Amino acid sequence: MSHDLENLLAPRPSERPDLWPWSARHDGTELSLGKVSASQLVESYGSPLYVLDEADLHGRANVWATVMAEEFWDGYGMGGGSAYYAAKALMSGRVIELVTSAGMGVDTASLGELTLALRAGADPDLVGLHGNNKSDEELRLAINAGTRGIARIVVDSIGEVERVTRIASELGRRARVMIRVTTGVHAGGHEFIATAHEDQKFGLSLASGTALEAARKIAAHESLEFMGLHAHIGSQIRDLEAFAESASRLLSLAKQLADEGVVCHELDLGGGYAITYTGADPQPLAPKEIARTLAGAIREACEKFDLKVPHVSVEPGRSVIGPTVVTLYRVGTVKDVPIEGGSRLYVSVDGGMSDNIRPALYDAKYTALLANRESDAPLRLARVVGKHCESGDIVVSDVALPGDIHEGDVLAVPATGAYGHSMSSNYNMLTRPGTLGVGMGEPHWLIYPEKLEDLFARDAALNAAELGEEK
């Protein structure tokens, strides 16, 4: 087995700024984030540690909000544009404050996410609710929020249309709803994160006519306000033609509805825009390029169907939060393991699949940089692994690291903002890392790290024993 070690070496921030947060620097000796060295961050705040560049997050959110407003400006004959942060990628009160203050809305997908968004001050008129199996409690909160309810409930089935109607009627409200449409366009990503082909759990089919049926039902109910159509076609997408085709198919449905007197006020094209995870990845598309391309495609399709251009929204999550976070690990056991044609260093760290499940779940690729010192030792083929009792507990499958890497070193894994914390777990009873904010003043906690006591707080037997109660 041969590997080009130079190509497996993690790029430094100056070499691939798209891989790292804005404040990331390497002075030739050590990595720093928010003007604080990686070793100092680990020493002061522990490890594993998610480090989030707040200025970077705010800036990326502002770019998305700005380009959508500019490219879909009504002065160009467009219907306006907006960007909603897909909160499932990473959510906390501070994250919501940063993205909303930058001009983005918030898309949620559960009672917890919706509650957090509203408590963190998100304007209900800029909040959406997704989900293929929403509870009545979720729908009640969405419909009752603010003076008009949240901006849109994205309905996912014919049955949900009836449930939203019933709850809105009970509350004396008019719920604003969109329809999630499976357009048959799928692009990018792993099969598990594909979201637009027909044989899957999300959305209402365009091909079978159920999306049209749902729109007709919504238009017929006085308790519902039909806002428009939504589609999400996948993840890690680099092909903008796929978005253009999905938009065209949505607009063909909008044309059918318009002919029946039902107006589609908004077209939401979802998210899924690719980011950089390793030095081998191509440069990601810029939000400006994405928005401009979508604007041209939608204008052309609307002319074809003789439609007024609706308001257009997108839902970036990974592309907003992903590059803003670096996970810092402390190195433990290092083993030299023979493999076909040579050997590989197995570098164990103090976290793993409980703080980043994506490599195990999706075979996602990451890279890792020795962050606390410079080394002139020859490069070695390495695999960074976690401390869990699973052979699939891999953080970085193939990476080049200095051959003298040893216990106590600090490794930095970039681009962990999306789905690291949000999909974290307590597997093997590990505590989940905290998320530290940098880049806006002194480092401070955005999400506190768990303590051992937190792990046992819901254990009935342990708490009964401590309280002297019967089990």
Binding residues: 272, 315-318, 358, 362, 390, 419
Give me the phi and psi of 311, to 5 degrees please: -65, 135
Cis peptide before 48 (omega within 30 of 0): yes
Closest CA to 181 of 263, 243, 250: 250
User: Coil, strand, or helix at residue 157?
Assistant: coil
Write the DSSP assignment of 225-282 as a string of letters.
EEEEEE----SSB--HHHHHHHHHHHHHHHHHHHHTT----EEE----B----STTSP
- Compute the CA torsion angle 51, 18, 294, 310 (nearest 10 deg): 20
Please count the CA atoms within 13 angstroms of the CA of 246 that sit on its side-chain side: 32
**Beta 105-108 vs 127-129: how paired, if at all?**
parallel
Q: Which residues are annotated as a binding site for substrate?
A: 318, 358, 362, 390, 419
* Identity of the amino acid at 365: K
Alpha-carbon 288 to chain mean position:
19
Q: Is 302 a catalytic residue?
A: no
Q: How far apart are CA 59 and CA 234, in angstroms?
A: 25
Q: Which residues are annotated as a binding site for pyridoxal 5'-phosphate?
A: 272, 315-318, 419
Closest CA to 354 of 397, 394, 407: 394
Q: Which of 1, 337, 389, 429 is catalytic?
A: 389
Q: Which helix (H) or strand (E) holds 23?
A: none
Q: How far apart are CA 272 and CA 258, in angstroms?
A: 29
Query: Catalytic site residues?
Result: 389
